[in-house]
Structure 1
Amino acid sequence: MTTLDELPIRDDLRGQRPYGAPQENVRVSINVNENPFDVPEAVVDHVMKSIREVLPGLNRYPDREFVQLREKLADYLGHGVEASQIWAANGSNEVLQHLLQAFAGPGRKVMGFGPTYSMYPLLSAGVGSEWIAVERDADYELSPETAAREVAAHRPDVLILCSPNNPTGTPVDLDTIKAAYEATDGVVIVDEAYGEFKPDGVPSALELLPGRPRLIVSRTMSKAFAYAGARLGYFAADPAVVDAVRLVRLPYHLSAITQAAAIGALECADIMLGEVDRIRVQRDRLVREIAALGYRVYRTEANFVMFGGVSDPNEMFEEFYRRSILIRDNGLPGCLRVTAGTEDETSAFLDALEEITRTRPELRATAPAEA
């Protein structure tokens, strides 16, 4: 059987690993930051009606410009955003891929502050760009001074700021985004995949769009909208950025069914987002109770919590797996990550963590891990 190494793939892709996260049949799956709540029945009925209306026309190509969907997304975002500023694709990863195809590419540099979302370097490699990962400040935070200094030093063509950051949960405030933008002539992408989970009153980078034509704010319907299976991501930016990604997108990339499903969900946004507060309650509970067990918990504004002070993350991961609980070993020294689930899922995790800490005390480091 032929191996990958025997195929004439691009040299810069040799040795790369594809993105992957465990998908196991366990009783508690809290490892990939999914919304734990099913799509409400009232929304299911409305979305089915939307899809049913487009089914007879599937012999025709879908609306290439997905005008109605862009109007719905603009209405949802607010902040004065108009439909001409919106682009969407099959998940926020494809949105980012479109942006890198348009603004990165061979001979160009894409930069982020690590640790951050593991798809960024893979997407960069996919378009032949150099990925530059710059260290964050202590506790995985990012100050305006650090952002401006490192951006000016490395001069990336594309800068990606994940806020709240995956896998750490730490936010990037507006002053830091402004400082980074002013330090570069390149494109700045603020990935707000977890933006709806921020505490009330914390502003979005959408506020910074006016007067900043190189700023892009990426969002997704996968997380807060409980729509991961629908695969719908989008961004808001200057209309010229939308024109740029039209040059690289595949024709008719959003199916009529995807468009109808997304429109139907957006028309029920209040219902779809009704569980966000419950998820934030469980996130805050995780922060308190993990810390009470003696672990280091990092600041988070997402729907997940990263904690340190673990002497052997792989072995602790396995201890949870033996209990049919799937969390995330994100590869950071002494750290693990857990998604805020339902109240029962959170309780199951916390009960297991208490038991593991009590029965395997050597798995908790003598001092909480420092960033």
Structure 2
Amino acid sequence: MTGTAEPSLSELPLRPELKGEEPYGAPQLDVPVLLNVNENPYPPSREVIEDLSRAVGEAVATMNRYPERDALALRADLADYLGHGLTADNIWAANGSNEVMTHVLGAFGGPGRSALTFVPSYSMYPEYARNTHTAWLTVPRRADFTLDLDLALRSIAELRPDVILIASPNNPTGTATDLDQLRSLCAAAPGVIVIDEAYAEFARPGTRSALDLLPSFGNLAVSRTMSKAFAFAGGRLGYLAAAPAFIDALRIVRLPYHLSVVSQAAARAALAHAPELLQQVDALRRERDALQDWLLATGLQVAASDANFVLFGRFADRHRVWQQLLDRGVLIRETGPTGWLRVSVGTPEETAAFRTALTDILPDNERLTDD
């Protein structure tokens, strides 16, 4: 006999729209080469670890008290990192960009409202909408995964979404959206618009951030994360920049004391090491570009990436390719449009292992063509 009753999920009064749904999540498997969730493969240096440990140790001494509710010191540090004349009043932070987006949909979405994005895009977006009872709308991207601006503007005028979400660089394709296109979309948005720049630090030189548009649009927010560039995926810290009134709207829907003293202290300590950590970004960017060139040389199709991953294909049976790589100790992601696979950029040794495994199985797998 167990300590609780054991009803099946179907016997519980689950919300109707959640019936049959599966929890979000990529496979977490114990294999030698993990290249499936776009993590930074480089652990923090000893100096970073020591500083984080010191900061967390000091924070722990105050754990009998609630954390500073609005994380003002952390928000000020994030504003300093972003620049662009931003202050703490322009920044919101939460437990990963996932919680930031949930706050956005909680404040500006909801029953009778809608959110729109351009697909393929991040697979969590429709879940944010579902969980906040926000109607979910999509508009297709072009075959090369760029935005069709005319179609986008027509769709916005027709659908009148309350929230527009645009990932740039996009996940899972890695595609960055031109700043002039983003400016047009901001001007057309009838509600709020969020440019999700989770991978912005990895963008190729000359790729401009939507942060440049903040002075012109009060309905715009630009979201970021420390998970990727700062090798802080385990720290769970996401944030966005927007007008102070936008931030105030998010403060209404956030849960009390949502960021622990440990999260705030660790994030501030990591931000103090930004120059060192961004050197890793430079190395990953070079590794990404070399990986794209190699995949193209094998005759595969590759989506031009401004992120720390590469989408490649196209395979008649992508799951078979995924499984064969896994059988050789390499875990990548089966995601995106039919026939495509996504591989995160790892260390040179991890990328070499991926190349070796893929080379071994390519002759045994049929490829799709555009004919």
Normalising by the residue count of structure 2, what TM-score does the alignment of the two structures yield?
0.96
State the Cα distance separating 1:149 from its structure 2 match.
Answer: 1.9
Q: Would you say the 8 A contact 1:147–1:176 is kept in 2? A: no
Match of 1:301 among 266, 281, 306: 306
> Who is 2:172 aligned against?
167
State the Cα distance separating 1:366 from its structure 2 match.
Answer: 5.6
Q: Would you say the 8 A contact 1:29–1:327 is kept in 2? A: yes
Matched, 1:133 2:138: yes
Match of 1:241 among 228, 240, 246: 246
1:197-250 Cα distance to aligned partner (Å, 9 max, x none):
001221100000003110000000000110000000000000001110111111
Matched, 1:255 2:260: yes
Counterpart Cα distance in 1 of 2:300 and 2:186: 36
Matched, 1:330 2:332: no
| 233-242 or 40-49, which deviates more | 40-49
Q: What amino acid is aligned across from residue 8 of structure 1 in structure 2?
A: P
Counterpart Cα distance in 2 of 1:245 and 1:45: 33
Matched, 1:107 2:112: yes
SS in 1 for 2:253: coil
State the Cα distance separating 1:103 from its structure 2 match.
Answer: 0.3
> Who is 1:219 aligned against?
224
Matched, 1:342 2:340: no
SS in 2 for 1:145: helix
Match of 2:20 among 15, 18, 26: 15
Q: What amino acid is aligned across from residue 94 of structure 1 in structure 2?
A: E
Aligned-pair RMSD on alpha carbons? 1.2
Q: Would you say the 8 A contact 1:188–1:216 is kept in 2? A: yes
Counterpart Cα distance in 2 of 1:58 and 1:20: 31
> Who is 2:270 aligned against?
265
Matched, 1:41 2:46: yes
State the Cα distance separating 1:20 from its structure 2 match.
Answer: 1.3
Long gaps (5+) in structure 1: none
1:17-37 Cα distance to aligned partner (Å, 9 max, x none):
221100000000000000000
Counterpart Cα distance in 2 of 1:260 and 1:356: 46
| 179-188 or 8-17, which deviates more | 8-17
Counterpart Cα distance in 2 of 1:308 and 1:55: 48
Matched, 1:98 2:103: yes
Q: What amino acid is aligned across from residue 365 of structure 1 in structure 2?
A: R
SS in 1 for 2:215: coil
Between the two proteins, the alignment pairs up a number of residues equal to 366
Counterpart Cα distance in 2 of 1:126 and 1:366: 36
Match of 1:231 among 233, 236, 239: 236
SS in 1 for 2:165: strand
Counterpart Cα distance in 2 of 1:230 and 1:78: 22
Q: Would you say the 8 A contact 2:172–2:336 is kept in 1? A: no
Counterpart Cα distance in 1 of 2:323 and 2:149: 39
Closer, same or farther: CA 344–213 of 1 in aligned 2, 3 Å: same
Moved over 4 A (4+): none
Closer, same or farther: CA 100–356 of 1 in aligned 2, 3 Å: same
State the Cα distance separating 1:51 from its structure 2 match.
Answer: 1.3
Q: What amino acid is aligned across from residue 259 of structure 1 in structure 2?
A: Q
| 185-194 or 5-14, which deviates more | 5-14
Counterpart Cα distance in 2 of 1:200 and 1:142: 20
Match of 1:150 among 138, 146, 155: 155
Q: Would you say the 8 A contact 1:40–1:271 is kept in 2? A: no
Identity of aligned residues (%): 49
> Who is 2:3 aligned against?
none
SS in 2 for 1:17: coil
> Who is 1:274 aligned against?
279
State the Cα distance separating 1:5 from its structure 2 match.
Answer: 2.2
Match of 1:83 among 88, 95, 101: 88
Matched, 1:310 2:315: yes
> Who is 1:365 aligned against?
367
Counterpart Cα distance in 1 of 2:143 and 2:74: 41
1:104-158 Cα distance to aligned partner (Å, 9 max, x none):
0111101111111011001110001111121111211114323212211211100
SS in 2 for 1:111: strand
Q: Would you say the 8 A contact 1:144–1:175 is kept in 2? A: no
Normalising by the residue count of structure 1, what TM-score does the alignment of the two structures yield?
0.96
Counterpart Cα distance in 1 of 2:61 and 2:296: 55
Counterpart Cα distance in 2 of 1:7 and 1:138: 43
Counterpart Cα distance in 2 of 1:179 and 1:3: 49
Q: Would you say the 8 A contact 1:189–1:218 is kept in 2? A: yes
Counterpart Cα distance in 1 of 2:77 and 2:129: 30
Q: What amino acid is aligned across from residue 333 of structure 1 in structure 2?
A: T
1:252-291 Cα distance to aligned partner (Å, 9 max, x none):
1000010000000011111121200110111111111111
Q: Would you say the 8 A contact 1:112–1:160 is kept in 2? A: yes
> Who is 1:194 aligned against?
199
Counterpart Cα distance in 2 of 1:357 and 1:308: 11
Counterpart Cα distance in 2 of 1:280 and 1:184: 33
Q: Would you say the 8 A contact 1:307–1:337 is kept in 2? A: yes
| 27-36 or 286-295, which deviates more | 286-295
